């Protein structure tokens, strides 16, 4: 089980370069913390940032959301989705903008393409299972779960070699490779980044433990377990689509994931086909 203590977080804080929380996110979180958050104020904050507005509308209107109507402006989006959900989408976009390619030793465009595909497939799974997990949360978890990877790539010049070695090695996980080389790993770094950006505590814990199979054995909140299960299924579908082989975690988790999501193998195949159709056309 991966855990964090104050010393680990202190070491990351002192020795790590983490993208600071953007001003727009600070302003949104401040508004949401008010006793009666003002919907128009939230819409105005987002609308003032043209790139963020466009990105949020693009996600909402994408096929993975499956809306019957097109959302054409941010105020409409805020009214339709709610304040928390729109903030999750804004956070996801801002995260992708927070890392600079020249400071990273991995190709960020490729990394975010994969993360965006996992986010989209997690959203499709959320729509299909009609769970109580908001699909915006699944979208953000899909984007953010591996955010420690570009943070590691910003701080270690040789990280691309460790990543490559882990991709070729099915006996040892990426987390184990990272621990061996750096005495920390992308799950812990992602947890720290999520905490600094004031993501919900439950999401930070999912980021920390998204490679931890024992999480399913614990008495966790059903929403947390469903979120993790949807993420693991999405990871596997995207991994299989790209590499024609299951993701390293999947053989150990498949039965549990299907049980948590209350799906049988036929349901899984149906979702997989829909997700692959989405991936082929985007």
Q: What b-and-e string marks burial along 174-207, b requiring 16 or more CB atoms within 10 Å of the CB? A: bbebbeebbebbbbbbbbbbbbbbebeeebbbbb
Q: Scanning the structure block, which residue is given the tokens 């999501």?
A: 261
- The candidate with the shortest Cα–Cα distance to 93, out of 188, 37, 25, is 25
pLDDT value of residue 21: 94
Q: Which of 49-53, 101-105, 130-134, 136-140 has the lowest mean pLDDT?
A: 130-134
CA angle 271, 273, 277 (to 5 degrees): 115
Six-digit token string for 65: 């959301």
Six-digit token string for 57: 């509308």
Output DSSP code: residue 42. Answer: H
CATH number of 6-20+104-280: 1.10.3210.10
pLDDT value of residue 112: 96
pLDDT value of residue 60: 87
pLDDT value of residue 18: 87
Q: How confident is the model at residue 92 (pLDDT cuts 50, 70, 90)?
A: very high
Rg of the chain over Cα atoms, rounded to whole angstroms, equals 18
Q: Per-residue pLDDT for 128 more than 90?
A: no
Q: How confident is the model at residue 129 (pLDDT cuts 50, 70, 90)?
A: confident
Q: Which residue has the higher pLDDT, 80 or 194?
A: 194
Q: How confident is the model at residue 5 (pLDDT cuts 50, 70, 90)?
A: low
- The candidate with the shortest Cα–Cα distance to 278, out of 131, 148, 120, 137, is 120
Q: Per-residue pLDDT for 28 more than 70?
A: yes
Q: Per-residue pLDDT for 2 more than 60?
A: no
pLDDT value of residue 249: 87
Q: Per-residue pLDDT for 131 more than 60?
A: yes
CA distance 96 to 92: 7
Q: Per-residue pLDDT for 113 more than 70?
A: yes
Contact present, 68 and 97 (Cβ < 8 Å): no
Q: What is the pLDDT of residues 190-206, one digit of tens each?
A: 999 999 999 999 999 99
Distance of CA 232 to the CA centre of its chain: 11
Q: What is the pLDDT of residues 159-181, one digit of tens each?
A: 999 999 998 887 888 999 999 99
What is the arithmetic mean of pLDDT over 47-58? Answer: 93
How many other CB atoms are found less than 10 A from the CB of residue 241?
16
pLDDT value of residue 255: 95
Contact present, 32 and 26 (Cβ < 8 Å): no
CA distance 256 to 282: 30
Q: Which of 13-22, 134-143, 233-242 has the lowest mean pLDDT?
A: 13-22
Output the pTM of the full model: 0.91
CA distance 228 to 257: 8
Six-digit token string for 198: 């004031």
* Domain ranges across the chain: 6-20+104-280, 22-97
pLDDT value of residue 8: 63
Q: Which residue has the higher pLDDT, 18 or 234?
A: 234
pLDDT value of residue 3: 59
What is the arithmetic mean of pLDDT over 145-165? Answer: 95
């Amino acid at each position: 089980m991966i855990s964090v203590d104050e010393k680990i977080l202190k070491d990351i804080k002192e020795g790590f370069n983490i993208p600071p929380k953007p001003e727009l996110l600070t302003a949104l979180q401040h508004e949401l913390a008010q006793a009666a958050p003002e919907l128009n104020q939230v819409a105005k904050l987002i609308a003032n940032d043209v790139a963020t507005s466009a990105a949020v509308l693009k996600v909402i209107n994408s096929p993975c959301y499956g809306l019957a109507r097109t959302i054409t402006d941010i105020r409409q989006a805020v009214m339709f989705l709610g304040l928390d959900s729109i903030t999750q989408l804004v956070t996801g976009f801002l995260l992708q903008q927070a890392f600079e390619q020249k400071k990273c030793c991995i190709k960020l465009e490729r990394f975010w393409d994969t993360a965006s595909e996992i986010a989209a497939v997690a959203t499709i799974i959320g729509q299909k299972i009609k769970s109580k997990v908001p699909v915006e949360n699944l979208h953000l978890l899909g984007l953010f779960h591996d955010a420690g990877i570009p943070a590691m790539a910003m701080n270690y010049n040789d990280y691309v070699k460790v990543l490559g070695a882990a991709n070729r090695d099915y006996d040892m996980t990426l987390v184990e490779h990272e621990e061996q080389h750096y005495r920390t790993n992308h799950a812990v770094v992602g947890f720290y980044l999520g905490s600094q950006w004031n993501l919900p505590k439950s999401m930070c814990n999912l980021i920390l433990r998204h490679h931890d199979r024992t999480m399913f054995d614990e008495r966790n909140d059903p929403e947390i377990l469903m979120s993790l299960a949807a993420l693991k299924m999405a990871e596997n579908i995207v991994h299989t689509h790209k590499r024609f082989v299951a993701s390293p975690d999947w053989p150990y988790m498949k039965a549990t994931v299907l049980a948590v999501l209350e799906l049988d193998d036929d349901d899984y195949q149906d979702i997989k086909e829909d997700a692959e159709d989405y991936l082929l056309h985007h």
